[in-house]
Structure 1
Amino acid sequence: MNIVTSHRKIIHIDMDAFFASVEQLDNPELRGIPVAVGGSEKRGVVAAASYEARKYGVKSAMSSYIAKKKCPELIFVKPRFDRYKEISESIQKIFYDYTDLVEPLSLDEAYLDVTYNKKGNPSASEIAKEIRNRIYLNTGLTASAGISINKFIAKIASDYNKPNGQKTVKPKEVESFLEALDIRKFYGIGKVTTEKMYLLGIFTGKDLKTKSREFLEYHFGNSGSHYYQIVRGFHNSPVKPERIPKSVGAEHTFLENLSSEVFLKERLDNISQELETRLKKNKLAGKTITLKIKYSDFTLQTRSKTLPYFISDKSLILEIATELLYQEKLFNSVRLVGISLSNLNIGSKKNTSINKTISVQLSFDF
């Protein structure tokens, strides 16, 4: 019988409405009013929305037309990605004052492993509070944080007390925290999967925990085993500063250039299906999804996102690829689009059985 000792202290830092907050920071006239970054009043999509806009139901990836109908007072601002990147880099420098184990997920969020940190502080909660304070003093922007024993729980926790708050889920609290959680708040369970779970009578973590591994795999494929483990607090993926370069991808070149995200989204559905076929044929899964866009002038652009777990199913690939598509506005017509999955499970023999494993949570400051 194997004994697994869980003793990591993981922080997930997530900037609050980052793009919109930067615009409000740099332009005082935008403070306190609903702001949408990206799009326009007539066309395009919202890349980010301020908290004032979110109160009206405005959110990222929403069409500008619908956003304006929901919030007639909405102000549209053109994105300035160079500025967002500049601030993001200054924030990441703060992270490295505490640990070298930093895993950026995007410009506005990252995982930090502070189990053994440069400050010698045994409390991950105190470190998170200190980091958030330094971010505010250095940039004028607020951040939220989640602190727990693994990346999955830390990610969920960071959304708990937004904006400008934090939540710690201690080792002894993990089980009750996950059982009480609405299933739609589980990171990685999207709208389609949530609706499917509702139909199966799964509404909370407690409901999910009653289902066998076989039941979940039958209804959700490879993801079923993942759901079986995470609801029990098992998620052993470490914070990894470096990525495995090997990848599997699929791409399409169009007969005519496309200039609308709507038309590109239709193509992504077919590409996601093709990618799923290739992955399952080779019994592969990956964590990092990259969207490749080649414009009519042959300029190449890539957008990536890393998940805390391996995926290979079309539905999840399409969901993340669509999110990346709407991450920023297209600056020209497109002649090629592709999706690749990297950070693969090559060389790692995963033990999917946890029935013979006992998890021992150590008692230490959080």
Structure 2
Amino acid sequence: MASIYPKLQESMEYVGRGPSNAGKLEINFDQYKYRKDVELEHRWMGVFQEMDYDKDGKVRIRDLRDRLRRADRKLAIPEHIRDDLLRRADMNKDGYYEFHEFLHLIELVDSHAHLDKFHKALALASYVVVPESERPQYVESELKHYTCCPPPIFLILVSAAELAIALYYHFTTPKGMSDMSVTIRKDYLPYNPNRRKEAWRLLSYMLVHAGWYHLIVNLVVQVVLGIPLELVHKYWRVGIVYLLGVIAGALGTSVTDPNVFLVGASGGVYALLAAHLASMIINWKEMEYAWIRLIFWIVLMGSDIGVFIYYRHFYDGKDKPMIGYSAHFCGAICGLLLGVVCLKNLNKLAWERVIWWICLVLTILLFVFAILWNIFWTGFPVQHV
């Protein structure tokens, strides 16, 4: 059987640059790798010949794909990744495998199948935000060598801090988390329109929540969606989107609802949701369950807008819920723009660079406008500091 590694023969070179070297043969290749490659050849030649129905030295890819799909036992690699590997191994794109292409497929499959349980769990988590067509590249280039350094720690720490603050209020205030109305107006963390000069409130209000339900919903969403985003895009990118979404929520509220107090991390949570939406729209054809995700987003935002319109224009009762809807909307807009700017683009296209600049300029203009509005507008409530 002829070797499929002709480069090994090319590396054998006759050296004749002087009397001492005349007639000598220099062998310049890795003998261990050669033995390993030959063993691989022998191990898989029988399988290849069995699938070579026409005995022409080729295996049709479609036949192999159908055979794998009919296999009784489950493969260690998800089907969409397996199909991508089948395409990548066809080097000359003729729809057939010659033996060297077949061995290349074996090596590709082997490199993915031997992910340990830790990396397989990371892969499943990352698939929430990675488009289907980009998953093999992501697994090959980044996930396989991922060491959890740095770990997806940002939103875990933020969530822990929010939970710790909630427990503090629960045990130290008269009514605990069941009635936060007094705390919201007198504490140093909530956004207070009467204390706008205390600039830290633009960010610190995310640590305080109006009740356990408010807290738990935010924690669940930001952990379930945020950790996969951190795995793929790194903690600092997600941190920028989240924190600027919180600040955008407060600045936007100061412009549209200047008398509203704010608590909760909903601005950051909506920024994460919108950042994921931006990635989903750009990669629409490759994203799994794209319509379901889009419908979920439309229902979420539509219900927010509907409730906002109802309570703002039609409801006259005294028990209006004190919810900063503007913070939700502004956080979402910030996340939509910054999702394009900050999050990693796994498959860069020329037109996306134009979108990147448009989103960056819009983000800067909106923040500058909101800041200048807070500085120069005279219709804000009386300041206590």
TM-score (structure 2 length as normaliser): 0.23
